[in-house]
Structure 1
Amino acid sequence: MKTLTPLTVLLYFSFFGADTFAQVDYEKDIQPIFDASCVSCHGSTSGVNLANYDAVMNSVGDQYGTEIVVPGNPNQSPLVDKIEPSPEIGSRMPQGGPFLSNDEIDLIRNWIAEGANEVAVSNEMISEVPEGFEMIDNYPNPFNPQTIISFTSPVTSAYNLNVYNATGVLIREFSGVTNNPKTQVQVNMNDLPSGIYIYRVKITSGNRSFFLESQKMTLTK
């Protein structure tokens, strides 16, 4: 069995403690990245504007024909495509570099995956899970290479399911609408190495958002 390093153990408990798992904060974590690397070219009133939250969320990428941020789905967000290596359309941004670091890119991806909120969900909101919403242990666990993550929902709600590796990097993301009373999401990790992974589910029901309890799962090959 693989031995966890002290850093991995610390990260593991950070994920499992709902009160210590803070969401990405747009004004504190994301806007400074845009200010430092993007606003000099994308801070006007025309085209893509990254000068503030409202401008970012209402910007449409002409090359893509859609809004640059798709809440809950970084992989479908043109903003992410343009800041990562080898974008599908055009050249990588910031044009000519220096490019964003991997940590900055991961932060932007995580912000979008969490719903691209302007204000981070408070720890109180995260801890207040309404009755009937509950995580179910994934099965099988350990698994190779597929497992099913399940959770209950008494009412139809939107969900975002994120899977992270032991160092906190987002490696899988799913979104959709819950099935009553139980939602099942099949996760295939054939391309990933053996190890411990952490998953969590964000539920949006009406005007409320909250996280279900984070869980760990083990991929063995």
Structure 2
Amino acid sequence: MVSYAKDIRPLFNAHDLACMKRKGVKLDSYDWMADPAGGEGYADHANGRTVFDFVRPDGNEPRMPMGGPYWDDDRVGLYRRWMEEGFGA
């Protein structure tokens, strides 16, 4: 099972964390990333799903991480699995 602490949090480096924190995006907070509340077009887990929209190749612009290099298929797939498996800690 994919977990935030073991698998997802390490995908974001210090630059990603600092850059996105200024925008109110708490990539280093499990509680924020896996918040079960909906919003922004999602019925559940809006924060985590919105972040995914910016890291996937066919997602929103500007892509994350800002300025690249962008995530490869393995990283995107791991994040997708985290969501599909229920946003585990």
* TM-score, structure 2 normalization: 0.74
Q: Structure 2 CA distance, aligned partners of 1:36 and 1:28?
A: 16
Which structure: larger Rg?
A: 1
After the TM superposition, list the runs of 4 or more consecutive aligned residues in structure 1 that deviate by more than 4 angstroms.
none
Matches within 5 A, 1:82-93: 82-87=54-59, 89-93=60-64
Structure with greater strand share of residues: 1
Q: Structure 1 CA distance, aligned partners of 2:30 and 2:75?
A: 17
Q: Structure 1 CA distance, aligned partners of 2:12 and 2:27?
A: 6
Kindly report the root-mean-square deviation, in angstroms, between the aligned alpha carbons of the 2 structures: 2.5
Distance 1:29 1:37, change over 3 A: farther
Unaligned runs of 5+ in 1: 1-22, 70-76, 119-221
Unaligned runs of 5+ in 2: none
Distance 1:36 1:98, change over 3 A: farther
- State the partner residue of 2:47: 68
Q: Would you say the 8 A contact 1:42–1:48 is kept in 2? A: yes
Q: Structure 1 CA distance, aligned partners of 2:41 and 2:26?
A: 15
- Relative contact order (C-alpha < 8 Å, sep 6+): which is higher? 2
Cα distance, 1:109 vs. partner? 0.5
AA at the equivalent of 1:68: N
- % of aligned pairs identical? 35
The C-alpha deviation readout for 1:194-218, integer Å capped at 9, x for no partner, is: xxxxxxxxxxxxxxxxxxxxxxxxx
Q: Would you say the 8 A contact 1:84–1:105 is kept in 2? A: yes
Q: Structure 2 CA distance, aligned partners of 1:104 and 1:117?
A: 16
Q: Structure 1 CA distance, aligned partners of 2:14 and 2:80?
A: 18
Task: State the number of aligned residues.
Answer: 84
- State the partner residue of 2:2: 24
* TM-score, structure 1 normalization: 0.33
Q: Structure 1 CA distance, aligned partners of 2:21 and 2:12?
A: 9
